[in-house]
Structure 1
Amino acid sequence: LLLVSRHPIQMENPYKEPPKRCVLCGINVDYKNVQLLSQFVSPHTGCIYGRHITGLCNKKQKEITKAIKRAHVFGFMPVMYKSPSFLTDPKICNIKYSE
């Protein structure tokens, strides 16, 4: 005899989006890694991008900001612009420039 339940089967929502993860979670942020840090700096003004642009978690955004400022102080990164050698790097953040 096969018993069939009339209640629906409980299962996860297949359309539920996976939780968004920070791009840098699990990566060590160092002020000497200028190529990584330059991805979070505007090429025109040298300003550090905010969380709404970078998509980083609060902890990693603070680490990036601190590392960029430290790299400026120690002379690893220019302050007013992005280093031209990193302008052709692939983009980590989804940033669209109006041209």
Structure 2
Amino acid sequence: MLSLRKFRALSFSTVRRYSTLTSNDEPLQSATDPYQKLECKCLLCQHNIELNYKNPRLLQQYVSSFSGRVFERHITGLCTKQHQRLLQTIALSRKAGLMPIFTKDPKYINDPKLFDPFKPRTPHSYA
């Protein structure tokens, strides 16, 4: 035997709320676009920091302590211009003998981190 199921129709009363218009019959304008992405500046551009080959303490922040290689742009969050300038400045500092080539200088290991190398700001382009 088939039993008939009774379905109860649920009705929800919807109350629409309208805002009263002022004397001007113009559309409402929002001050900012809520869906617009925030413009992110790189750390060096934001604080107007000039790179100098004589400042190995700042340059060592962008060098891996394990391999001595410079971190990529997607990890550091630098813009293309500042990243190229960083690579040139690190190369010049290494040629001048102010920075080691294959490792990070041990006296700079306990410096505060400018970024987390294990949490890149953007995903890698090849991934």
Q: TM-score, normalised by structure 1?
A: 0.86
Which runs of 5 or more residues in structure 1 are unaligned? Answer: none
Runs of 4+ in structure 1 over 6 Å off: none
What is the CA-CA distance between 1:3 and the residue it aligns to?
1.5
1:40 maps onto 2:62 in alignment: yes
1:59 maps onto 2:57 in alignment: no
Question: Of the two structures, which has the highest relative contact order with CA contacts closer than 8 Å and spacing of 6 or more?
Answer: 1
2-side partners of 1:36 and 1:17: how far apart?
A: 30
1:30 maps onto 2:52 in alignment: yes
What is the CA-CA distance between 1:16 and the residue it aligns to?
4.0
How many residue pairs get matched? 96
Which runs of 5 or more residues in structure 2 are unaligned? Answer: 1-21, 120-127
- Percent identical among aligned pairs is 33
